[in-house]
């Protein structure tokens, strides 16, 4: 494994280059602010009447319409939601300069063929491994967030250097940039979202809460036990790894974990995880995301409403200071 850090990367491919970041949401905002602080010549491209325009101007960053931003740029970073990127690319393709570089922070749209990039452009990926808020706060603290980089198309012979210089400018190389591919980044990321951290962990927390409440435990106590301790274990695992976390807890907690954990996360769970991975690799998930967007996000809206109505939310509110 080759983990590249700042001193391994030449920043010069972005010196004198103009970067257009399309979108000013979670990643667009964080990456733009970091690029700006790294001294990159930057414009943020937004849709007409975008509600984000004032925030971009407020940050002292130049703002333009999507097509104007793209036509003046050497590097264009696609930071709108994944399910919109195919349509966005079709709109901006005629404005892309000959030999420009097109960047992504997720492999989905390119890997699943929603975008077929023009043959003359470089196509790269720099995917910070965490949310935009953390990417920005780490940068301002002088730290960085681990990231993956990849090249899908190297038309100019410069794609690798541009990807790395971009990853360095948003601060990822302070922690480390690791080479991957669009397929690997995208499949591993979608798998984790569906089957591990963002998919399974919240379900396990709420299921544990429900089991305790059903058995007569006060919802607030169930909340403190099953959900309130999540941050503590996350911090311990981040600082010491899984083995170190086990050594940092009481014998009581450790024996409970050793006897109970593998019974809950058993072969059946691994089999369901393989199903999620298969759904991702086959492109069925990417298709479901496009269909969801095309029909106005009915599943996401219903799931958000269900989550807000859960008993666990009431318990959380009653514990707020
Ligand atoms: N969320 C994260 O922290 C995170 C982490 C790692 C990687 N990523 C990747 O980063 C990329 C961006 O994700 P995100 O979560 O930052 O997205 P997001 O916050 O949902 O993006 C919102 C921004 O995209 C703009 N936008 C929405 N639809 C658009 C369209 N059709 N055309 C042009 N602009 C459009 C919005 O415009 P308005 O301002 O006009 O509303 C807004 O500025 C994705 O590839 C994602 O997988 C995200």
Q: Put the strands of the sheet holding 147-153 in their side by side order.
A: 3-4, 177-179, 147-153, 122-128, 101-104, 75-78, 18-22, 41-46, 62-65
Q: Which atom of ligand 1 is nearest to the CA of 87?
A: 31
Query: pTM, whole model, 2 decimals?
Result: 0.94
Q: Bridge-partner residues for 76, per DSSP?
A: 20, 102
Is residue 298 very low, low, confident or very high in pLDDT (cuts 50, 70, 90)? very high
**192-231: per-residue pLDDT in tens?**
999 999 999 999 999 999 999 999 999 999 999 999 999 9
Residue 69 near ligand 1, beta carbon < 6 Å: no
pLDDT over threshold 90, residue 253? yes
Are 154 and 160 in contact, with CB atoms under 8 Å apart? yes
- The preferred substitution site among 54, 81, 124, 170 for testing ligand 1, maximizing ligand atoms within 8 Å of CB, is 81
Burial of 76 from C-beta contacts in 10 A (0-12 / 13-18 / 19+): buried
| Cα gap 313→102, rounded to integer Å | 41
Considering the candidates 7, 106, 111, 268, report the single residue annotated as catalytic: 106
Give nearest CA residue, ligand 1 atom 36: 23
Burial of 270 from C-beta contacts in 10 A (0-12 / 13-18 / 19+): exposed
Is residue 50 very low, low, confident or very high in pLDDT (cuts 50, 70, 90)? very high
**3-35: per-residue pLDDT in tens?**
999 999 999 999 999 999 999 999 999 999 999
**190-203: per-residue pLDDT in tens?**
999 999 999 999 99
Region 235-243: mean pLDDT is 96
pLDDT value, residue 2: 87
Q: Which atom of ligand 1 is nearest to the CA of 50?
A: 40
- In the block, tokens 């749209």 appear at 109
Are 80 and 22 in contact, with CB atoms under 8 Å apart? yes
Q: Is 106 a catalytic residue?
A: yes
Residue 127 near ligand 1, beta carbon < 6 Å: yes
Mean per-residue pLDDT over the chain, rounded: 97
């Amino acid at each position: 494994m080759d983990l590249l850090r700042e001193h391994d990367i030449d920043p010069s491919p972005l010196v004198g280059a103009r970067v257009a970041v399309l979108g000013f949401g979670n990643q667009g905002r964080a990456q733009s602010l970091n690029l700006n602080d790294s001294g990159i010549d930057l414009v943020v491209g937004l849709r007409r009447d975008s509600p984000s325009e004032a925030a971009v101007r407020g940050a002292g960053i130049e703002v333009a319409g999507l097509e104007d931003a793209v036509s003046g740029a050497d590097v264009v970073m696609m930071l709108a939601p994944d399910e919109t990127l195919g349509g966005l690319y079709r709109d901006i393709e005629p404005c892309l300069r000959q030999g420009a570089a097109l960047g992504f922070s997720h492999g989905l749209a390119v890997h699943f063929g929603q975008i077929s990039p023009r043959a003359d452009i470089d196509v790269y990926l720099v995917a910070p491994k965490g949310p935009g808020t953390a990417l920005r706060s780490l940068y301002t603290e002088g730290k960085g967030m681990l990231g993956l980089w990849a090249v899908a198309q190297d038309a100019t012979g410069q794609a690798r250097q541009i990807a790395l210089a971009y990853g360095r400018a948003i601060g990822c190389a302070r922690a480390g940039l690791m080479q991957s591919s669009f397929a690997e980044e995208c499949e591993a990321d979608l798998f984790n979202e569906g089957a591990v951290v963002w998919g399974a962990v919240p379900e396990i927390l709420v299921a544990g809460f429900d089991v305790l409440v059903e058995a007569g435990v006060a919802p607030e106590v169930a909340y403190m036990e099953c959900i309130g301790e999540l941050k503590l274990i996350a911090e311990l695992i981040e600082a010491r790894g899984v083995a170190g976390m086990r050594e940092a807890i009481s014998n009581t907690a450790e024996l409970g974990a050793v006897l109970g954990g593998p019974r809950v996360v058993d072969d059946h769970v691994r089999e369901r995880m393989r199903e999620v991975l298969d759904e991702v690799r086959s492109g069925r998930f990417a298709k479901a995301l496009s269909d969801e967007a095309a029909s106005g996000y009915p599943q996401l809206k219903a799931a958000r409403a269900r989550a807000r109505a859960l008993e666990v939310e009431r318990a959380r509110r009653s514990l707020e200071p």
